[in-house]
Amino acid sequence: MIELLYLASAVAFIVGLKRLGSPKTARSGNRIAAVGMAVALVVALVDADIFNWTTVVAGLVVGTIIGVWGALRVQMTAMPQMVAVFNGLGGIASALVAAVAVLESDLSALPAQTTLTILLSTLIGAVTFTGSFVAFAKLQGLIGGNPIIFRGQQVLNASLLVVAIGAGVLVMADGNPDVYWVLGAVALIIGVMTVIPIGGADMPVVISLLNSFSGLAAASAGFVFENNALIIGGALVGAAGLILTIQMTRAMNRSLANVLFSGFGGGDAITGSGEMSTKPVKRATAEDAAIALGYADSVMVVPGYGLAVAQAQHATRKLATALEERGITVHYAIHPVAGRMPGHMNVLLAEADVPYEQLLDLEQADPQLPQTDVVLILGANDVVNPSARDDSSSPIYGMPIFNVDRAGTVIVVKRSLSPGFAGIDNPLFYNDNTLMYFADAKDALEQTLVALRDV
Amino acid sequence: MIELLYLASAVAFIVGLKRLGSPKTARSGNRIAAVGMAVALVVALVDADIFNWTTVVAGLVVGTIIGVWGALRVQMTAMPQMVAVFNGLGGIASALVAAVAVLESDLSALPAQTTLTILLSTLIGAVTFTGSFVAFAKLQGLIGGNPIIFRGQQVLNASLLVVAIGAGVLVMADGNPDVYWVLGAVALIIGVMTVIPIGGADMPVVISLLNSFSGLAAASAGFVFENNALIIGGALVGAAGLILTIQMTRAMNRSLANVLFSGFGGGDAITGSGEMSTKPVKRATAEDAAIALGYADSVMVVPGYGLAVAQAQHATRKLATALEERGITVHYAIHPVAGRMPGHMNVLLAEADVPYEQLLDLEQADPQLPQTDVVLILGANDVVNPSARDDSSSPIYGMPIFNVDRAGTVIVVKRSLSPGFAGIDNPLFYNDNTLMYFADAKDALEQTLVALRDV
Amino acid sequence: MSVLIVGITVFVLAAFVGFEVISKVPPTLHTPLMSGANAISGITVIAAVTAAGLGSTAVAEVLGFLAVVTATVNVVGGFLVTDRMLQMFRRPGAKDASKDPGAR
Amino acid sequence: MSVLIVGITVFVLAAFVGFEVISKVPPTLHTPLMSGANAISGITVIAAVTAAGLGSTAVAEVLGFLAVVTATVNVVGGFLVTDRMLQMFRRPGAKDASKDPGAR
Ligand SMILES: NC(=O)c1ccc[n+]([C@@H]2O[C@H](COP(=O)([O-])OP(=O)(O)OC[C@H]3O[C@@H](n4cnc5c(N)ncnc54)[C@H](OP(=O)(O)O)[C@@H]3O)[C@@H](O)[C@H]2O)c1
Ligand SMILES: NC(=O)c1ccc[n+]([C@@H]2O[C@H](COP(=O)([O-])OP(=O)(O)OC[C@H]3O[C@@H](n4cnc5c(N)ncnc54)[C@H](OP(=O)(O)O)[C@@H]3O)[C@@H](O)[C@H]2O)c1
């Protein structure tokens, strides 16, 4: 019976995952999976012979409170970070479980396979933990988004790995618990070391990969406790997470290896900022923007991460409406990786009730640009950076972009010349047909709206 | 170890199935699955403690000989029948296995679940057996393709089912072996009764469904012998077969229920043949055909089952080449269900090295027909039957067809006015712009080729 | 955990794999795929050899023998005939088929 | 059949399901899907409660407690945050997303 209920929850996970893959069913899918989880948990509480209930219940309560609190107060723009945190906690949970198993049992007495799986869930769990939190820190801006690379890094990582494996072998050999803790510690360090050299812009990919890891950690914990629900759930996430990761890298047209080992996604910020201030740009005021927009026939709005930061979606909608009342056609060019999470822009603009027909994706919008009079770039940078097209030495070279420089006039609204997430300079800003309007996107839009009245 | 090898072969099945789903990998997929099977069989021979080796080896040898012989001598056009036979044999094998288990063990002593799975694999296996052979007989033309429907059929089938279930319950209750044999016998009858009311044209769908059944039978046998390789393999085929069946019915745009219970696919042959000879048709000779074709600018060839019967693919190619030398553009309109198995026409024409670019599928060819001068129909009937479009009472109503009647001239090459697989009359033949050239497709083409010289 | 439960778990998972593994298949491949799957269902040959192996009575032995024969025919014939079908798809055939899903 | 073997079998099958179940997902759904999958990986909470339950030494009990807390955060927070994300996809958003795969 117990087992059948576990199986049922496993099925719920499968169905949930499948439904999560398509927009219409996604939400129900998430809920189905949640129900499956609830069932599994209840079964576990009934099945496992629990001595210290207080600990368990207390843990559940505390965890629930933290989880709910975290999930509800996080802003849309901070979601990826949040997922990173949750994922890291899941990872460490598996590691801790393994640790308890070590404390409670005599390692040298355990059958080899159990020891092995204990080591695996410790290793993978710990790596997931620290790795996820580094990813969080990078996304949150607690540490710079740029790849942190230093001399002898490879060597260090290699030796760390050797130590970890060595420790593992030792534990397998003479079940010495002390060595086990060494392994755990090293694993934590490995997690940090493998993520810091990866650029902030690639963190979502990293998180997705670590997510797959936490699945594997759970599965190994399943082997330790001989629980199929764990094995199934873990294996599911392990595999699904991997596929998803690969799909993500494809969306940024990169390979997984390239993401992990190329130190891309933070670009060469130093030289970037070096050039920046030097070259001259055409500055624009609200009035300039209003005139350019007011007398255009067609306007293409390119929203980016900055729009999210400024929470300027409603202001954008207002300005667009005003322009349309003047008989100007307005469209929005939504880049697949604009913002900080896929669909970021769709979510924001949907929130402001922007008509769905006006949202164009890469394939639709780019061809229209040459016939577009004015392109209004709101806090976007990398996704309109021509060096992805022209400069084969650029770290984002090959990433599909909006070729806005082919449009009539380009108005860029951002607060400064500072780079976007890829951390690289943007030649677009120095073009003759580019006007730089330095301001917070929201303020800029509101002032332009005012100025538009007198145009 | 044993188990791991079984698992490996199960994985081979999965990979094989997946690869079978895409043209480039299909062949390798089939071979991978075959290897998996070989492994599993060897493991079984090693693992199972076999008393009478002679029986086993003899069985394997005889089976192999028959299998090879059958597979090699069957013609392309008879493949579906062959699959039906193989499938039926697989089904009965599972049933026989269950029977042996009954003979060798005391039913009343067995645990309930074992008895249940024994009954299941008997029931499903036996139904698959007779059902498949009826399908074979219909495809082979041993019995008429038309649905065999008689008064009280439903009642009979219902009562048969009741008897079967009743017998099952009895066996479960007091493990009486005699009742078990009754169940087996009834199951055999059920297989016949459920398939005879289905029209010949739908047999491939039925076979596919029975294929899914034989998978389930194997899986239940797996439960009886507590063998996971069997369970996995069986469940795989059970599920995959079901999906495939549904996809097949979609290709004929029908629902599975409609296929199974509508008595479609043989149509109302009586009234069909009733009308037939009465109405007048325009007869054509080789010369007429040659003239019509020779002075056309564009010709669309619509091959059908008759082309396969006449093995006229090479003759077709020759005529097409002759026409092209006259500067006439020739295309082939390949209907998804033309012939007797999906891809039937592609296979035939590929055999005659017809240039791939000239093969158009439904979506491509149909829009071109109104601009086509001459449509040459070679042994096709149902796929060009306008009543699928016009006559909502027609059994094939709703099936997508080539609207050849919208082309300039239609030349139909077939031996008589007799109906196609759906067993219904074809209004097309009586249209004013339709020329009926009554002959074997191959002869017709060769004579037309000769006649073409003097045009 | 009882063998039955294991069996059920394995069955359910395998069924899911079966459902998912068959995505949109071009009609050209329906028959070969059916035929290949059918050959796989011949896995029952494993049970057949076991059954035939333990047959003690004459009847049981005959039935076991028949089981082995039929299952073997299914396996051998099934894979062979599938291979023959697929053999017919030269590049054009294959190309065409691979185009098919896009077309529908 | 040893528990280990069963585990491996189940693992392999589940992995296949995981691979197959994620077909082409529109980029708009990458983040929610990742988040949902992450919540599922919190299944380790089952092991956590078991571990916390059998903790005899103080250390073990503390670690067990932490395991339960972290796992629960992962589960509860994960599902909640996913739901919040998906909530943002009103019809337009959804429509757009469902269109996406076609576009690429
Ligand atoms: N969508 C995804 O799934 C995803 C995931 C991971 C990484 N990424 C990466 O993130 C980047 C997205 O490109 P993007 O063009 O959308 O953003 P971006 O390249 O990161 O540029 C955002 C720009 O917005 C400006 N900005 C910030 N706050 C602002 C405010 N309040 N008002 C106005 N402007 C503001 C910033 O310039 P100032 O500071 O000068 O204002 C910054 O240059 C790409 O590199 C992509 O690869 C995307
Ligand atoms: N492709 C599949 O997967 C599949 C599977 C199952 C069922 N079906 C069904 O099969 C049918 C296929 O349609 P179809 O138009 O291809 O074939 P059809 O409707 O069955 O008609 C075939 C025609 O070919 C003629 N014919 C037979 N031998 C001939 C010869 N030697 N020379 C010239 N003509 C000959 C026959 O007329 P005469 O006897 O007068 O010559 C017959 O009317 C559809 O109903 C379809 O649903 C197809």
pLDDT score at C96: 39
The DSSP 8-state label assigned to residue A337 in this structure reads T
**Which residues of chain C have a CB within 8 Å of the CB of B217?**
41, 44
Count of other CB atoms within 10 angstroms of residue A118: 27
| pLDDT tens sequence across B378-436 | 999 999 999 888 888 887 887 889 999 999 899 999 998 888 887 788 999 998 889 99
pLDDT-derived band at D89 (thresholds 50, 70, 90) equals: low
Q: What residues are in contact with ligand 1 under a 6 Å CB criterion?
A: A 201, 204, 252, 304-306, 309-310, 337-342, 344, 379-383, 413-416, 418-422, 440-441
Flag whether pLDDT at B189 surpasses 90. yes
Please say whether the beta carbons of A347 and D87 come within 8 A.
no
Query: How many CA atoms lie less than 13 Å away from B282 in the CB half-sphere?
Result: 14
Flag whether pLDDT at B267 surpasses 60. no
| pLDDT tens sequence across A346-380 | 878 877 888 878 889 888 899 999 999 999 999 99
Give the tokens for residue A264. 């891309």
pLDDT score at A303: 95
d(CA B35, CA B342): 26
Count of other CB atoms within 10 angstroms of residue C8: 17
Please say whether the beta carbons of C30 and B343 come within 8 A.
yes
For this complex, say whether ipTM is above 0.90.
no
DSSP string, A342-358: TTHHHHHHHHTT--GGG
Strands (E), B123-192: none
**Which residues of chain A have a CB within 8 Å of the CB of D70?**
63, 89-90, 92-93, 96
Q: How far is A14 from chain C (nearest CA, A)?
A: 9
At which residue do the structure tokens 């390979």 appear?
Answer: A255
Question: B414 forms bridges with which residues in the sheet?
Answer: B438
For the question of residue A382 being annotated catalytic, the response is yes
| pLDDT tens sequence across C39-96 | 999 999 999 998 888 777 888 889 999 999 999 999 999 999 999 888 766 443 333 3
Q: Phi-psi bin for D54: left (phi > 0), alpha (psi -120 to 50), beta?
A: alpha
Q: Is residue B336 within 6 Å of ligand 2 at its C-beta?
A: no
Q: Is residue B385 within 6 Å of ligand 2 at its C-beta?
A: no
Q: What percent of chain B has a predicted confidence (pLDDT) above 90?
A: 45
Residues B174, B177, B180, B182, CA torsion sign = negative
What's the rounded mean pLDDT across residues A159-175?
88
Among residues A59, A48, A6, A62, the alpha carbon closest in space to that of D50 is found at A48
d(CA A316, CA A306): 12
Catalytic pick from B202, B268, B366, B382?
A: B382
Please say whether the beta carbons of A409 and A373 come within 8 A.
yes
Please say whether the beta carbons of B226 and C46 come within 8 A.
no
Do chains A and B touch by CB distance (3+ pairs < 8 Å)? no
d(CA B260, CA B34): 31
More confident residue, B89 or A264: B89
Closest chain B residue to C88 measured between Cα atoms?
Answer: B347
Q: Given C2, C9, C20, which is nearest A7 (Cβ)?
A: C9
CA B73 → CA B308, C37, C80, C85, distances in Å? 17, 21, 11, 13
Would you call A329 helix, strand, or coil by DSSP?
strand
d(CA A261, CA A275): 26
CB contact under 8 A, D70 and A41: no
| pLDDT tens sequence across B51-100 | 788 888 999 999 999 999 999 888 766 788 889 999 999 999 999 999 99
What's the rounded mean pLDDT across residues B441-454?
91
Please say whether the beta carbons of B228 and D12 come within 8 A.
no
pLDDT score at A432: 86
CA of A304 to the centre of ligand 1 (A): 5
Among residues B88, B270, B292, B122, the alpha carbon closest in space to that of B195 is found at B88
D103 at interface of C, judged by CB pairs closer than 8 A:
no
Tell me the residue type at B85. V
Give percent helix, percent strand, percent coil of chain B, each to the nearest 5: 65, 5, 25
Residues A159, A160, A162, A163, CA torsion sign = positive
Picking from A66, A236, A361 by the largest number of D CB atoms within 10 A of its own CB, the best residue to mutate is A236
Flag whether pLDDT at C103 surpasses 60. no
Would you call B436 helix, strand, or coil by DSSP?
strand
**Which residues of chain A have a CB within 8 Å of the CB of D47?**
94, 97, 218, 221-222, 224-225, 227, 230
Q: Contact partners of A by the rule of 3+ C-beta pairs under 8 A?
A: C, D
Q: Whose CA is nearest to atom 44 of ligand 1?
A: A382
Among residues B354, B353, B344, the alpha carbon closest in space to that of B305 is found at B344
Question: B410 forms bridges with which residues in the sheet?
Answer: B375, B434
DSSP string, A386-426: THHHH-TTSTTTT-----GGGSSEEEEEESSS---TT----
The DSSP 8-state label assigned to residue A277 in this structure reads T
Give percent helix, percent strand, percent coil of chain C, each to the nearest 5: 90, 0, 10
d(CA A250, CA B171): 58
Please say whether the beta carbons of A210 and A245 come within 8 A.
no
Q: Whose CA is nearest to atom 37 of ligand 2?
A: B414
d(CA B223, CA B207): 24
Flag whether pLDDT at A278 surpasses 60. no
